[in-house]
Amino acid sequence: MNIGRNDPCPCKSGIKYKKCHGNLKEKLTLLNPNIPIESAINQRMRDAKFKQCIHPEKEKCSNSIIKAHSIQNNRILTTLARNGMLYMIKGAPTAARYKLKFKEIGRKEATTFTGFCGYHDNMLFEPIEDKEYIGDEQQHFLFAYRAFSFEYHKKLEAQNAHKKIAFDKPSVLKDRDYLNKSENYELGVKDLLRHKDTFDSALLKNDFDVVETISFVLDGPAGLAVSSGFFLEYDISGHILNNLSLKNEIMRLLMFNIFPSEGNTIILFSWLKKDAEFYKRFRNQLLSLDNVKIIKLLNNLIPAYCENVVYNPDYIDNWDKIQKDEYLSIFQASFISVMGPIKRSLLQNTNYNLFDNITV
C-alpha cells in the first residue's frame, strides 16, 4: 500500500502523512533487546496502560486512579486463593511461539484494571463487594456493569497498544493487515460506547432496570471465578448471534459472572434490556437446560470466550496433562479463531470439568 506525502495519515489524525507518521524514524524492534523477552513484552504492555475513571460523574472523582478488582477481592479471591496466590492463564514466550500456561498471580494483583478512581470504585461496588449475594436488581446491575467496565477498559488498552506500534514502526501504516486490525479496534470500541451510554445514564439516575439477568445456583463451590464481557457469536443451537465479520452490524455484549457464595456457585448471564429481543432465543435455551447441560455449556463457554478468570491452584493442580492441554488449547484458539467449531458446539463433551465438585 502506497501513501503519498500529502495524503491524510492512515492513523486518522487528520494531519498530512509527511507531518505525522511519515516524519517518524523506524525502530529496528518493538521490544527492548537488553532485557529478557518476557520482561520486554511486559514492559511493552505497561507502556500501553490506560488510566482513567470511566464513571460519568467526573466532578466527584478522587485524585488517584486505583488498581480496581473486577472480581471481589475480600471474599471471592480470598476464598479461591492458596496462600494468597491464584492461577490465571498468561502467555509464556518460547523460541517457537507465545505459549499459554496457568501462572500464579498474587491476590492483590489478580483481575485488577485501572478503570476507576478510588472514590467511585469504593462507593459504587459496595453492595456486591461487602455484602453477600442476594440476587436483587441492584446487585445484578453492578455485576454486569463491572464485567462491561473491565471489557471496555481492556479494549481501550489494546487499541492504545496497537496505535503505539505505528509510532515505533511507521511502516506498518502501509500494511493492510495492520489497518484492518485498527478498524476492528475502532468498531469494537464504538459498539462498547453504545453500552457505556446506557450504563452512564443508568448510573446518573440510579436506574438499575436497564439490565436483564438470567441466574443459576449450583450446589457446591466451584474452583474458579469469572467476570467477563464478550460478543457471543453463536447461541446454544449453533445459530449465529453476533457476526463479527459484518462491520456495519451492531454487536451486543453478553456480560457473564461466576463466583462462589455461601457454599454454592452463582452464574449470571446479563445483557442490556434494549437487547432483550436479540438474546431472546439464547435466554430461552438457557432456561431449558438442566444442571448437567449447564455445566457442559460452561466447560466450553469459559475457555472459548473468557479471559478474566481466576482459578483455585489446588483445583487445577489435580488435573492431568491431557486435561490441562485441552483446556489451554481451546483458550489459545479463541484468540485466533472467529466463529470456530468450539463456539458453534457449546454442549460438546470435554476431558476436563471445571465443576466436578458440584452436585447435580
DSSP symbols for 68-93: EESS-IIIIIHHH-BTTEEEEEEEEE
> What is residue 330's three-state secondary structure?
helix
Span 198-235, pLDDT tens digits: 999 999 999 999 999 999 999 999 999 999 999 999 99
Cα 49 from Cα 120, distance rounded (Å) = 20
Output the pLDDT for position 74.
Answer: 84
- Confirm whether pTM is higher than 0.75: yes
Cα 87 from Cα 85, distance rounded (Å) = 7
Q: Is the pLDDT of residue 324 over 90?
A: yes
Q: Is the pLDDT of residue 339 over 90?
A: no
Span 245-301, pLDDT tens digits: 898 899 999 999 999 999 999 999 999 999 999 999 999 999 999 999 999 999 999
Output the pLDDT for position 43.
Answer: 63
Structure confidence at residue 241 as a pLDDT band (50, 70, 90): very high
Cα 31 from Cα 53, distance rounded (Å) = 29
The whole-chain average pLDDT of the chain stands at 90
> What is the rounded average pLDDT of the residues 78-86?
95
Output the pLDDT for position 13.
Answer: 86
Cα 178 from Cα 210, distance rounded (Å) = 36
Span 122-176, pLDDT tens digits: 999 999 998 899 999 999 999 999 999 999 999 999 998 888 888 888 888 888 9
Output the pLDDT for position 36.
Answer: 52
Q: Is the pLDDT of residue 95 over 50?
A: no
Tell me which residue has cell 453463536. Answer: 234
Structure confidence at residue 97 as a pLDDT band (50, 70, 90): low
Per DSSP, the residues of 96-152 read S-EEEEEEEEETTTTTEEEEEEHHHHHHHHHHHHSS-----HHHHHHHHHHHHHHHH
> What is the rounded average pLDDT of the residues 180-184?
89
User: What would the grid cell of residue 225 be?
Assistant: 471465578
Beta-strand relationship, 254-261 and 309-311: unpaired
Instruction: Please choose, from the candidates 199, 197, 209, the residue with its C-alpha nearest in 3D space to the C-alpha of residue 140.
Output: 209
CB-side exposure of 355: number of CA atoms within 13 Å? 27
DSSP 243: -
Q: Using an 8 Å Cβ cutoff, are 336 and 343 in contact?
A: no
For 14, left (φ over 0), alpha (ψ -120 to 50), or beta?
left
Beta-strand relationship, 224-230 and 309-311: antiparallel
